[in-house]
Amino acid sequence: MPDKSRDYELELFNVMSAMGDIEFEMSEEELLDELRQEGKDIEKEAEYVREVFKTAIKEYRQAPLREAQKKYEEHLSKIETRDFELPETAPERRNLLSGLLARKPEFGSLLTAQHRDFKDVTDADVESYLKQLIELGALESESEQEDSE
């Protein structure tokens, strides 16, 4: 998700402040007359306010999703910087992953749908999946396997 530099809370605050400046004692007709006298296009103003509210509501609802995405990316970054002991070559890593998936087919659900047939998975993806499985405790690294023998 792209990082937006807009401050939606400030925008919402500004809209609410502007609304607070309106004299609520005015009838709807008086308010519309005042807007017309100021030369404002009422439909454009109404559409603008609707869009501001839609954007603010959407951003508010998506805040947990953005936070989860951020945490996921931070976690992946930590996994990538951690030292894992994996097989040396890409074919060995691919064999390890395919063997694990054969023994434990439930882990196949961890792969995205496009990778479930295992043909189009890149070597980098195989390595990433193995690291994630080790991190989750579903697979022991080579050093842990040697220690348990």
pLDDT at residue 112, rounded to an integer: 57
> For residue 34, how far is the Cα from the chain centroid?
44
pLDDT at residue 69, rounded to an integer: 93
Find out whether 87 and 93 touch, Cβ atoms under 8 Å.
Answer: yes
- Neighbour-count burial of 138, counting CB atoms closer than 10 A to its CB (0-12 exposed, 13-18 middle, 19+ buried): middle
For residues 91-116, average pLDDT = 74
Binned at pLDDT 50, 70 and 90, residue 110 comes out as low
pLDDT at residue 20, rounded to an integer: 66
Binned at pLDDT 50, 70 and 90, residue 149 comes out as very low
One-character DSSP codes across 8-74:
HHHHHHHHHHHHHHS-TTS-HHHHHHHHHHTT--HHHHHHHHHHHHHHHHHHHHHHHHHHHHHHHHH
How many angstroms separate the CA atoms of 148 and 68, rounded?
35
pLDDT at residue 144, rounded to an integer: 43
Q: Which one is predicted more confidently, 42 or 108?
A: 42
For residues 101-108, average pLDDT = 77
**Among candidate residues 139, 25, 30, 20, the one with its CA nearest the CA of residue 86:** 139
Find out whether 130 and 97 touch, Cβ atoms under 8 Å.
Answer: yes
Write down the pTM of the prediction: 0.44
13 CB contacts (<8 Å, ≥6 apart)?
none
pLDDT of 64 > 90? The answer is: yes
Sign, CA torsion 92/96/97/101: positive
pLDDT at residue 25, rounded to an integer: 66
How many angstroms separate the CA atoms of 139 and 127, rounded?
13
